Structure 1
Amino acid sequence: MTDSTFFTTGIGWRHPHYACLLEAQPELDFLEVHSENFFARGGAALAVLHEARQSYPVSLHGVGLALGSAAGIDPWHLEQLAALVERIEPVRVSDHASFARGPWGGATVHAADLLPLAFHRQSLDVLCANVQQVQDRLKRRLLVENLSAYVRFNTCDMSETGFLSALASRSGCGLLVDVNNIYVNACNERLAGSTEDPVRACMAWLDQIPPHAVAELHLAGHKDCGDIVIDDHGSRVCDEVWQLYRHALARFGKAPGGLATLVEWDTDMPSLQVLLDEAASARALQALADSAVAA
């Protein structure tokens, strides 16, 4: 556990690290898992999660609720999530500001992807209603994450930050700010012709989010493919994202309820120690932020 009473730090716990983490029991404030991997009512995966829950708080991070879908929330998916929440008693539950469900061939299908929303009033109405439905069923506050997006809509009448801020205000949900996603989007805007410096653009983005709404930050690596930057969670956090993380810590300060930080790594998995090193880097910056506030 960290010494800070405000900042907490965890890592994404993925299958290659199940056994070594349970054996090593490293000092972490929480573990994050993808909710959908543990929907089965029994079996080895759920047993491993229960074992980890004896030593660590667990955060459930979903990728399948499709909160922005006009087709609504899948009742089966929501019930599986509610059952998992009851079993695990997670410290946080989160998902994404995305859509994935819609009509196709006379049925409602799921695209199995995090598809971006158009930032306009109608989309906001749908997202707020769906978030409220999930919060009512889970009887707890949901955190909603900003996306890395590879398409832009021409019909938007709101900024992304205005859209997310309005979501938090209207629904009472919290925001999960993925710092790497912001930077990926800014880099792709630069590749598309923007003349704005990506780091400065990201700082401006962070400054437009109300501090009281933010409960968690995500850090991860990405891949620069030359003509596009991909949020692949397959490398260490880059220097620019660490710089933005420092800005986020200063911006979101002493928000009510504390501020969690998660290090994600989902492809080209390294040793567990690499993730622990990244978490240690985050804690070092948190200590500096604590010192700045105290001064």
Structure 2
Amino acid sequence: MLDSTRTCTLPDAPGVGFKACHFEAVTSAPGAVRWLEIHAENYLGDGGRPQAQLAALAERFPLSVHGVGLSIGAERGLDPDHLARVAGLVDRLRPASFSEHLAWSTHDTAFLNDLLPLPYTEVTLDRVCTHVDQVQAALNRPILLENPSTYLSFAESAITETDFLREITDRTGCGLLLDVNNVFVSATNLGTDPRAYLAAFPMERVGEIHLGGHDAQEDEHGAPLLIDSHGREVADPVWTLYAEAIAAAGPRPTLIEWDTDVPDWATLAAEATRAEAILARVPA
């Protein structure tokens, strides 16, 4: 089993998800931004402008690689070709952190452009742990696993999500990526208490925190339905939960996610500054 204390070497400071449109701004005036995240699947090609920009960024910033296509929770085995390409990127880049999702996106030969939730059973626990072990062996490092945003619960689930995540870390040595927006989205959609979820979350295993925006809708019964869109500023209740989480557990590397309707650099940097101000109030 790999050592979960080495899952992340990012600074306990704000980072943002890198977008090519911000390259000039982030390299000339990063402001509060101390590190950057990229999505692995955007950089699996050879050469070209994306790789040149990535090389330039790697000289100035610690980088986090966030996978979105390994489908760690899928019933079928991992795609060996895709895993090999991701491992090649990690080997070249030597990032400070690598993370993936507790989710699935493949079935038989189909790839679904979504991150879908799992029933929390002993069967899925065994499968996820096997896949995490395979990813960590291929990358030769511990990874971080992100808690999902959910819109429904499975009747067959026999393990709470927090216990499920804790057991994965115990068995595999991986760390966790705590997405606070996902906590708020899931709690609202399922009618549960986000603070109780955070109180049960294995914070000692958290190597990185994500903050993002969500969209508010209503279901067919008129109940609130939140969509994890990553397309707007972080909502005030999510900032509050974040401040409470790090006040209890200490500062962590904190990413601002904004992947759709990407704003100008000043707007994104302002979100990082807000995270910096909250981090500054917490003793190391």
TM-score, length of structure 1 as denominator length = 0.87
Are the equivalent residues in 2 in contact too, given 1:214–1:252 (CA < 8 A)? no
1:237 positional shift: 1.0
Equivalent residue, structure 1, for 2:153: 152
1:102-113 alignment, distance < 5 Å: 102-103=107-108, 108-113=109-114
Q: SS in structure 1 opposite 2:269?
A: helix
Equivalent residue, structure 2, for 1:241: 238
Equivalent residue, structure 2, for 1:143: 144
The answer to whether residue 258 in structure 2 is matched with residue 265 in structure 1 is yes
One of 10, 15, 32 as aligned partner of 1:10:
15
Are the equivalent residues in 1 in contact too, given 2:175–2:205 (CA < 8 A)? yes
Equivalent residue, structure 1, for 2:5: none
Q: Partners of 1:226 and 1:244 in 2: how far apart?
A: 23
Give aligned pairs, total.
270
Q: SS in structure 2 opposite 1:168?
A: helix
1:8 positional shift: 2.1
Equivalent residue, structure 2, for 1:187: 188
The answer to whether residue 217 in structure 2 is matched with residue 212 in structure 1 is no
1:190-201 alignment, distance < 5 Å: 190=191, 201=193
Amino acid at match of 2:218: G
1:26-45 alignment, distance < 5 Å: 26-45=31-50
1:143 positional shift: 0.3
Are the equivalent residues in 2 in contact too, given 1:120–1:157 (CA < 8 A)? yes
1:25 positional shift: 4.3
Equivalent residue, structure 2, for 1:203: 195
Are the equivalent residues in 1 in contact too, given 2:83–2:135 (CA < 8 A)? yes
Amino acid at match of 1:31: L
The answer to whether residue 214 in structure 2 is matched with residue 222 in structure 1 is yes
Are the equivalent residues in 1 in contact too, given 2:32–2:276 (CA < 8 A)? no
Q: Partners of 2:63 and 2:140 in 1: how far apart?
A: 17
Equivalent residue, structure 2, for 1:251: 248
The answer to whether residue 279 in structure 2 is matched with residue 274 in structure 1 is no
1:234 positional shift: 1.3
Q: SS in structure 2 opposite 1:69?
A: coil
Greater mean deviation of Cα atoms: 204-213 or 175-184: 204-213
TM-score, length of structure 2 as denominator length = 0.91
RMSD between aligned residues: 1.6
1:109 positional shift: 2.4
Identity of aligned residues (%): 40
Q: Partners of 1:251 and 1:202 in 2: how far apart?
A: 15
Which 5+ residue runs of structure 2 have no aligned equivalent?
Answer: 1-9, 220-224
Q: SS in structure 1 opposite 2:38?
A: strand
Equivalent residue, structure 2, for 1:91: 96
- Give the 3 Å change call, closer, same or farther, for CA 224–15 of structure 1 in structure 2: same
1:9 positional shift: 1.6
Q: SS in structure 1 opposite 2:107?
A: strand
Q: Partners of 1:25 and 1:8 in 2: how far apart?
A: 13
Equivalent residue, structure 2, for 1:118: 119
1:66-85 alignment, distance < 5 Å: 66-85=71-90
Amino acid at match of 1:119: Y
Amino acid at match of 1:142: I
Q: Partners of 2:280 and 2:229 in 1: how far apart?
A: 28
1:164 positional shift: 0.7
Q: Moved runs in structure 1, 4+ residues, more than 4 A?
A: none
Equivalent residue, structure 2, for 1:193: none
Q: Partners of 1:55 and 1:220 in 2: how far apart?
A: 24
Q: Partners of 2:235 and 2:174 in 1: how far apart?
A: 29
Q: Partners of 1:27 and 1:251 in 2: how far apart?
A: 23
Q: Partners of 2:207 and 2:84 in 1: how far apart?
A: 24
Q: SS in structure 1 opposite 2:253?
A: strand
Spell out, residue by residue over 1:198-255, the C-alpha distance to the aligned partner (whole angstroms, 9 max, x if none): xxx111111112222111110011110233211111111111101100111023227x
Amino acid at match of 1:224: A
Which 5+ residue runs of structure 1 have no aligned equivalent?
Answer: 191-195
Q: Partners of 1:87 and 1:6 in 2: how far apart?
A: 21
